[in-house]
Structures are given as structure tokens and as C-alpha cells.
């Protein structure tokens, strides 16, 4: 399983793409098109929001699990784009139980943010929160409803009715016309029908024949609805436990959980970020790391790597390994800082992530300093090619977390990675 260890945007798409090669099924388990994965393959850039990153392997079973919320407009758009570029999408499977983002969810997301004003969460405004809210309220529309116009119409009517007041400012929006909405969604259903499936059963069948299922998380632990910096979080659970409910695969079937973290930290949207850099260094990281949101185009907030939050994420996910991405961005920065504890204005010190929001909001980060490393590391392919100070930086992170670093990203290209330790050997042998 691949999960985000920070606030999302850690580079999970690239890791999923690399591991998908050896997987039989790739499945997403939560989130929706608030996520954005960029993959660079043979010099071509692909951006995905809903379709699992494994789709670039012809015929590979790539599933959207029941825990995902699907905007069919976005999904059909992605399918069209992939077809136009000649990508085989015959392996795409969509859970019949996944919930659908409706036009009123998108409008409610915007209305909710406007109402909050200065207190806004900074959502991606893709309708994610309102869709999960309807799911919990049992007013959701599911993928399977697209296949029965009568049921679809009844469910949309029931779901829209309680929202009329909040939707009043959008009363004239043609997207809210019941007849138009039903017709549009029936048309999406016709297009998606060949891909609609029982995705849990697909995973079980794969596991029963000892095949590999790769779970692709979206967002990250610190955006988790239960464990993140609530209310500045997303409306799903990006932690590993959610893969079970989000796909129907029980926890004992999962044997590896890889957390993905950048060599520094970023966050999009509002909410606490103890290691945030509001200065030139922050700007440098943003510029060098190309830290602009894939989905919304918003500049990302940047900061030093946060061990307190990462240790929390490691425990929440029972991570078996860590992947550190974008190490190249730190080249030439000296010294490098690693946040090892938080200090509250009243003097209290926190080695573990504090449960109380006021503490997190008021916390300042305390750092350990390490020497920076020089030079262009984008061409390094083996651990020993890295400058010693870069290796020391990785070792420091690994030691603090008590988890091995198995993969390091040294540039945007697919091949710009270094397999480390136990992961390096079989790959070097295979290459030889």
C-alpha cells in the first residue's frame, strides 16, 4: 500500500506507477478528484485525478474502489483524454458502490467556503466534503444508480430537497435542473457501464491466486478526517486503515505499507503547519520544487521536514517503509533542518504529535541541523552515488522514525530514483 505521510502531494503517483509494473491490480480507496497525480513517462506528462496511476500499463486492472467519490464528468474527461493519447483503458474498473459527486455537491462546497469567509478550509471546491456528507447521511447517489433512471431520479430529488436553502443563491444554475441532471447522469452511466464492476471481488480473486494488489492512497495522514488537523482536513481517511473499508479487502490481507514523504514539507489550503517557512527559504523550496497544486494551481506552503508529524503518520499507518521524494530540491541548501519537537508558548515540549488543536496551532518547531549536500544528484541511481551528507540526511530521518528508507526520488523523471537497502538488491540483480 502507498499512503501519503504528510499533507498530500508527496509524489505517491510516481511511486504507484513504479510499483504498478509488478502488481496485478491497482486500486484507489478514498478521496476523489481533489487529488492530482502527475506522471512523466517517456518525456510525456500525464495528469490523473481519479484513474489509478497504473493505467499506463496496457491491460493492467486499475480499479476505483467503493471508498472513492467520483465526479463522472471528470472521470469521463480523463477517459477521453487517455483514449485520445492512445492509452489502452480496457483494465479500468469502477466500483458500483462508489458514491457520485453531483453538481449540487460542487456548488455546496463553494457556498460552504464562502460562508466561512476568513475561516475557510481552503478546499479544492470539487464537492468532496458534501459528497461524503451525503454518503454518511444516506442520501448519496452511487455508481450503480446510474444504471436505473427511475431510481436515479428519485434519489436525486430526495438528496436535493434538504439542501434547497443553502442552494438558493444558485437557484438559477441550469446544472440544478432535475431533468437535465438526470439525463446528463444517465448518459455518464451509459459511457461508464462497461467499466462498472464488483471491485472487492476483483481484489479477493487476485489475492486468492496469490497475485499482488497495490493500494493507492490519496492526500496524506495529516489531512485525515479523524487523525489530521481537523477541521483543516479532507473528508475521507487517507490512512492505511481506510483501504480496508474503501475496497473491501480485510486488514490481514495487507502486508506492506509504504509511506511517502517529501524531503521537506508542503501543505495546500489553510490549517496549522509548524515547520512552515514564510521567508526566502520557503520561496526557494516552492520555486525549486515546482510547488503548485496539480488540481487547483494554488501555490503550496512550504517548510522543513517534520519528524514529529512523520512519526505520528508512521504509527497511524503501521508503515513498514518510507519513500523520500524530491531529495534533489534540497541540493545546495546548508544547513538542512529537521524538526524533532514542538514547543508551545507556555514552554511545554512535545516529542509526540499533540492531540489538542490549540497546541498544534500555537506550536513552534525546534530543529536539529545537518550539513547540506552539494551538487546535482539527478543522475544518481545507487545509494553509494549520493554525496555522504545526503545519505546522512536520509539516515537521520530513518533513525528518527525507526523505519527503513526504501526508495529515494532525485528528479521528476520515472528513472530518477534510487532503490535502497533491501529493495536495491533484487532490482540490481534483475537489471544485471
Taking the least distance from each CB to ligand IMP, the nearer of 142 and 262 is 262
Q: Are 253 and 207 in contact (CB under 8 A)?
A: yes
Q: Is 390 in the site for ligand IMP (CB under 6 A)?
A: no
Q: Is 143 in the site for ligand IMP (CB under 6 A)?
A: no
Q: Is 68 in the site for ligand IMP (CB under 6 A)?
A: no
User: Which residue of the set 9, 17, 109, 224 is catalytic?
Assistant: 9
Pairwise CA distance, residues 360 & 338, whole Å = 17
Q: Is 98 in the site for ligand IMP (CB under 6 A)?
A: no
Q: Is 155 in the site for ligand IMP (CB under 6 A)?
A: no
Q: Is the dihedral of CA 41, 43, 45, 46 positive or negative?
A: negative
Taking the least distance from each CB to ligand IMP, the nearer of 113 and 392 is 113
Q: Is 9 in the site for ligand IMP (CB under 6 A)?
A: yes
Nearest CA-CA partner of 408 in 187, 206, 254, 260: 260
Q: Which stretch binds ligand IMP (CB under 6 A): 62-70, 228-236, 256-264, 351-359?
A: 228-236
Q: Is 216 in the site for ligand IMP (CB under 6 A)?
A: no
Taking the least distance from each CB to ligand IMP, the nearer of 242 and 386 is 242
Q: Is 6 in the site for ligand IMP (CB under 6 A)?
A: no
Question: Least distance to ligand IMP from the beta carbon of 15, Å?
Answer: 15
Q: Is 268 in the site for ligand IMP (CB under 6 A)?
A: yes
Instruction: Quickly tell me which residue has 519513500 as its cell.
Output: 323
Q: Which of 39, 128, 213, 314 binds ligand IMP (CB under 6 A)?
A: 128
Q: Is 20 in the site for ligand IMP (CB under 6 A)?
A: no
Q: Is 235 in the site for ligand IMP (CB under 6 A)?
A: yes
Q: Which of 66, 234, 275, 398 binds ligand IMP (CB under 6 A)?
A: 234
Please give the C-alpha separations between residue 274 and each of 267, 340, 359, 366, in angstroms, as whole numbers.
11, 11, 10, 9
Active site residue 37: yes
Q: Which of 112, 122, 362, 387 binds ligand IMP (CB under 6 A)?
A: 122
Pairwise CA distance, residues 387 & 172, whole Å = 61
Taking the least distance from each CB to ligand IMP, the nearer of 24 and 216 is 216
Mutual orientation of helices 388-401 and 307-316 as an angle, nearest 10°? Answer: 50
H-only helix segments in 48-147? 72-84, 103-116, 128-136
Q: Is 367 exposed, middle or buried (0-12, 13-18, 19+ CB in 10 A)?
A: middle
Q: Are 122 and 81 in contact (CB under 8 A)?
A: no
Q: Which of 16, 33, 34, 199 binds ligand IMP (CB under 6 A)?
A: 34
Active site residue 24: no
Give the helix, strand, coil percentages of the chain, each rounded to 5.
40, 20, 40
Q: Is 124 in the site for ligand IMP (CB under 6 A)?
A: yes
Taking the least distance from each CB to ligand IMP, the nearer of 145 and 224 is 224
Q: Which stretch binds ligand IMP (CB under 6 A): 227-235, 278-286, 328-336, 360-368?
A: 227-235
Q: Which of 5, 8, 98, 325 binds ligand IMP (CB under 6 A)?
A: 8
Q: Is 269 in the site for ligand IMP (CB under 6 A)?
A: yes
User: Which residue of the set 24, 37, 99, 109 is catalytic?
Assistant: 37
Pull the grid cell for residue 316: 497511524
Question: Least distance to ligand IMP from the beta carbon of 1, Å?
Answer: 17
CB closest to ligand IMP, residue no:
269
Q: Which of 75, 159, 218, 370 binds ligand IMP (CB under 6 A)?
A: 218
Q: DSSP state, 276?
A: B
H-only helix segments in 241-356? 242-247, 280-288, 307-316
Q: Is 409 in the site for ligand IMP (CB under 6 A)?
A: no
Pairing, β 417-419 against β 405-409 = antiparallel
Q: Are 329 and 376 in contact (CB under 8 A)?
A: no
Question: Least distance to ligand IMP from the beta carbon of 47, Å?
Answer: 12
Q: Which residues pair with residue 14 across a beta bridge?
A: none
For 170-235, give the DSSP string. Answer: GTT-GGG-HHHHHHHHHHHHHHHGGGEE-HHHHHHHHHHTT--EEEE--S-GGG-TTTSSTTSS-S
Catalytically active residues are 9, 37
Residues binding ligand IMP (CB under 6 A): 7-9, 34-36, 121-124, 126, 128-129, 218-219, 223, 232, 234-235, 268-269
Amino acid at each position: 500500500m502507498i499512503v501519503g505521510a504528510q499533507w498530500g502531494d508527496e509524489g505517491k503517483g510516481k511511486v504507484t506507477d513504479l510499483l504498478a509494473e509488478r502488481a496485478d491490480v491497482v486500486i484507489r480507496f478514498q478521496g476523489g478528484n481533489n487529488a492530482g497525480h502527475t506522471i512523466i513517462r517517456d518525456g510525456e506528462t500525464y495528469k490523473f485525478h481519479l484513474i489509478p496511476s497504473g493505467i499506463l500499463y496496457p491491460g493492467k486492472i486499475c480499479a476505483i474502489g467503493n471508498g472513492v467519490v467520483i465526479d463522472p464528468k471528470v472521470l469521463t474527461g480523463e477517459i477521453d483524454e487517455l483514449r485520445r493519447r492512445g492509452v489502452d483503458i480496457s483494465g479500468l474498473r469502477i466500483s458500483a458502490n462508489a458514491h457520485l459527486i453531483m453538481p449540487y455537491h460542487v456548488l455546496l462546497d463553494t457556498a460552504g467556503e464562502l460562508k466561512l469567509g476568513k475561516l475557510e478550509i481552503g478546499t479544492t471546491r470539487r464537492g468532496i466534503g458534501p459528497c461524503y456528507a451525503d454518503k454518511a447521511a444516506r442520501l448519496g447517489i452511487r455508481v450503480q444508480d446510474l444504471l436505473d433512471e427511475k431510481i436515479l431520479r428519485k434519489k436525486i430529488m430526495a438528496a436535493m430537497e434538504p439542501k434547497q436553502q443553502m442552494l438558493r443563491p444558485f437557484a438559477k444554475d441550469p446544472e440544478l435542473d432535475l431533468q437535465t441532471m438526470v439525463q446528463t447522469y444517465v448518459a455518464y452511466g451509459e459511457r461508464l457501464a462497461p467499466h462498472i464492476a464488483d471491485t472487492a471481488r476483483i481484489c479477493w480473486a487476485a489475492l486468492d491466486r496469490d497475485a499482488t494488489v497495490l493500494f493507492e492512497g490519496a492526500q496524506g495522514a495529516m489531512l485525515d478526517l479523524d487523525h489530521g488537523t481537523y477541521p483543516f482536513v479532507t473528508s475521507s481517511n487517507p490512512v492505511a486503515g481506510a483501504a480496508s473499508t474503501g475496497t473491501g479487502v480485510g486488514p490481514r490481507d495487507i502486508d506492506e505499507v509504504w509511506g511517502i514523504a517529501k524531503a521537506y514539507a508542503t501543505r495546500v489550503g489553510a490549517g496549522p503547519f509548524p515547520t512552515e517557512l514564510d521567508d526566502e527559504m520557503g520561496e526557494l523550496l516552492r520555486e525549486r520544487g515546482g510547488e503548485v497544486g496539480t488540481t487547483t494551481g494554488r501555490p503550496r506552503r512550504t517548510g522543513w521536514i517534520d519528524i514529529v508529524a512523520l512519526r505520528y503518520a508512521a504509527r497511524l499507518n503501521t508503515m513498514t517503509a518510507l519513500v523520500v521524494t524530491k531529495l534533489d530540491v534540497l541540493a545546495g541548501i546548508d544547513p538542512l533542518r529537521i524538526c524533532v519537537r514542538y514547543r508551545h508558548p507556555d514552554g511545554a515540549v512535545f516529542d509526540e504529535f499533540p492531540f489538542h488543536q490549540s497546541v498544534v496551532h500555537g506550536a513552534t518547531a525546534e530543529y536539529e541541523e545537518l550539513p547540506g549536500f552539494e551538487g546535482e544528484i539527478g543522475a544518481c541511481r545507487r545509494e553509494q552515488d549520493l554525496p555522504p551528507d545526503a545519505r546522512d540526511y536520509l539516515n537521520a530521518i530513518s533513525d528518527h522514525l525507526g523505519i527503513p528508507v526504501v526508495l529515494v526520488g532525485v528528479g521528476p523523471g520515472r528513472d530518477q530514483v534510487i532503490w535502497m537497502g533491501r529493495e536495491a538488491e533484487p532490482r540490481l540483480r534483475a537489471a544485471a
